[in-house]
Amino acid sequence: MTSSLFTPIDLAGVSFANRIVVSPMCQYSAEDGNANDWHIMHLGMLANSGASLVILEATAVEPAGRITPGDLGLYNDENEAALSRVMAAVRRYGTAKLGIQVSHAGRKASAQRPWEGGRSLPAGQGEWQTIAPSAIPFAEGWPAPRAFEAEDFKRVRDGFVATAERAARLGFDLMELHGAHGYLLHSFLSPLANTREDSYGGDFGGRTRFPLEVFDAVREVWPSDRPLGIRISASDWVDGGWTIEESIAFAKLLKARGCDFIDCSSGGVTLGIKIPTSPGYQVPFAARVRREAEIPTMAVGLIVEPKQAERIVAGGEADMVALARTVLDEPHWGWRAARELGGQVAFPPQYARAAPDLWPGHSFREDSSVMD
């Protein structure tokens, strides 16, 4: 029987060999936004994981849009040159196609790296002014952002466009806008973060206006033969927040504008919200958006085992599964999934000798009695 997880899929004319995606994962290791040798090592590992697509971490469209001082950026020529070097190495030796997630952190910017505490940067430690739809702090103890003014809308929108143009020149196969996890575009969508009383706030139409303007502007410059999508927080998980019903309506608007996929995550708009996590806990969001908006979706959230991923795709809950910490813990997860599900993955020739038909160790691994 053919594995659904290892069935190819086409998005906007680009063919992906299987349905496994490596999610964007911030590394907080860039220097002035510039990618470096860490990114070569990290992305090189993931590009040979067996996934058909690796999406680079959240990449800022302006310096103030970085989450931390270590965030990747693609807002100047130096950033572009540094990322070009990384891309050349990863593309030369990796087997996966490469996407990029483009982002602005909004009120969650100017923060410490997670291993330094993850809070807002203390005064005198390189902090910067954050911006958001409304002057509402992300959480207690965080500074209030400056509310968006007229010039901010144009500057940030133009920043997304310029970054998209740079990404297109670099040859990325796919682009994803970051509209989730409490960052800028999500903060416009959520009534918990957007209390504006002008045309960019208030009802659903007002709160979706700027994210849709950004999408439209990027759609104009991003090549039509490469997929363009968006990651959303499908629910804020709290009364009074953004809802799955609004996500479905938003997805329909995006589809009409030429959106090729929706990457369905959730949460992140503020601290202190209790999210009931369990294996596959966010998959129902992807299933509803896929079914009701009739648009391809990626599912995320504690997808750990190959058979679990197979069920998601085979059951029509999502078109692709996006893994994060799962592949950090097991960098060749896709290889194991192929063995268990009867699929095929591309091996770099240097590693081909570890394939099941060339390495007898696989039979020993499956027969634990040989080690007793």
Which residues are known catalytic residues? Answer: 183
The alpha carbon of residue 48 and the mean position of all alpha carbons in its chain are separated, in whole angstroms, by 19
Q: Which residues contact 163 (CB under 8 A, 6 or more apart)?
A: 59, 61, 74, 75, 102
Beta bridge partners of 97: 53
User: Are the CB atoms for 257 and 213 separated by under 8 Å?
Assistant: no
Instruction: Count CB atoms within 10 A of the CB of residue 213.
Output: 17
Taking each helix axis from N to C terminus, what angle separates 77-93 and 37-46, rounded to the nearest 10 degrees?
Answer: 40
Reduced to 3 states (helix: H, G, I; strand: E, B; else coil), residue 40 is: helix
Helices (H), the chain: 37-46, 77-93, 150-170, 184-189, 204-221, 244-256, 283-293, 306-314, 325-329, 333-341, 361-366
Give the span between the Cα atoms of 39 and 61, in whole angstroms.
Answer: 18
Q: At 187, list the tokens.
A: 């903060």
